[in-house]
Chain A
Amino acid sequence: MSELTQELKAKIITQLNLEDLTVDDLDDHTPLFGDGLGLDSIDALELIVMLDKSYGIKLSDPKEGRKVFETVQTMADFIEANRK
């Protein structure tokens, strides 16, 4: 599991151009949106693309993303549960 969260952190940093951050700066439980990392609705769409391209998981409704992308940990849980 922690392998997946590490991998996710690296992907999030690249995909969202968070060039000032390193994998170590990201905690598994930091909220990615709002007062946490401060990501927004465009980032959520980028993460949906990432889920599709890297893990073959499609979200058809951006609203679903809100729960899935709460933290790195929730993302990892979702991927584990839905990965093909």
Chain B
Amino acid sequence: MIKPIYIHGSGCISIQPTFEAGYFFDALTSYAQNPVPALDPDYKAFIPALQLRRMNKSMRMALFASRLAMQEAGITSIDAVITGSGLGCLRDSERFVEHLRAEEGSSLNPTPFIQSTHNMAAAALALSLGCKGYNMTYVNNANSFESALLDSLIYLAEHPTETVLLGGVDELGERTPQFWDIAGYLKHEGAEIPTPLDDRTPGEIAAEGAIFFIASQQQSYQTLGKVLAVETRLEVDNPPAFIAEFLQRNGVSTDALDAVMLGCNGDARYDGIYRTLGDTLFADLPQVAFKHTLGEYDTVVAAALFLVLGIFQHQHIPQTLLLNEVSSRTLQRILIYTQRRGQNHSVILVEK
């Protein structure tokens, strides 16, 4: 009953200049810090000042990336907004906590509270684009974007003539990264972008970004690719079996894949999962990484889809992203597999 959905446009804000026309990872911006904030485009190009003044980073990144996606798809309106965000508008949440801890009982500024709610990016999109249709926000940790993608597949099966704006967004906070550090999530030694994927040091590089897509069930001359299926699983005992079963359910063998995108982020504690897959199930495929250039956040997997669409378009995998020496004649069908800290596993099957 679920049918493939076609992607007609995409937009990405990240710690690389992905929002610049023509940029495709041939040159990378390097960082030696953790966390790494996203690069800011000229938000005023798309967002009126009166709106912009009350938009936190999540909202402005989401709106800008959405405008890029709509521009590429050549459309000016959409029927539904479906988003994912692991942590929502983190900085405003922190700000309101800080205000109330310091001055509970006195007048508190309401704006950080309003803008702390997780649905604010999707709401800003609806408001700014005048979209009164279906509007959803998933907050499913590192599988938030995948939930939004799955909902888009269902929604378009229910409403085959409509167009969906779909995406993921996450921002950094100021205090929260300190908490992550205490919890042992962050990388210290070797905290660099591009991150060495040599299984040597633990931890991830925290980053932020927004990636949005225009999707429908209609193919057009503007189509960048299509998503056939997505699956998530909180815990997986045997990742190769999980992936093999997913492929089987979708009638695709590993031979029929032209490349695989893997979520290695340089965290020595969990990258072994990808190593095992690279040595077994995917040994004969070009293996592509992305988190070592974009950092880690809950919805960064949306950037993998952005990259896959770029690879289809360019028919070329940037050298900066390749993990092995295997080459492929054509680039028509790519599988994305990621997990974070050993959980929130997901697979996404994409075709040109």
Contact = CB atoms under 8 A, between A and B. Distances in A.
Interface of A: 16-20, 38, 42, 45-46, 48-49, 52-53, 58
A58 B106 CA distance: 11
Interface of B: 49-50, 53-54, 106-111, 114
A8 B98 CA distance: 26
A49 B49 contact: no
A79 to B, nearest CB: 16
A38 B50 contact: yes
A19 B107 contact: no
A20 to B, nearest CB: 5
Contacts of B107: 48-49, 52-53, 58
17 contacts: A16-B53, A17-B54, A19-B49, A19-B53, A20-B53, A38-B50, A42-B110, A45-B110, A46-B109, A46-B110, A46-B111, A48-B107, A49-B108, A52-B106, A52-B107, A53-B107, A58-B107
A21 to B, nearest CB: 9
Contacts of A45: 110
Nearest to A21: B49
Contact of B53 (A18, A52, A58): A18
A14 B158 CA distance: 47
A42 B54 contact: yes
Please list the 3 inter-chain residue pairs (A to B) with the smallest Cβ-Cβ separation, ordered nearest first.
A17-B53, A49-B107, A52-B107
A49 B109 contact: yes
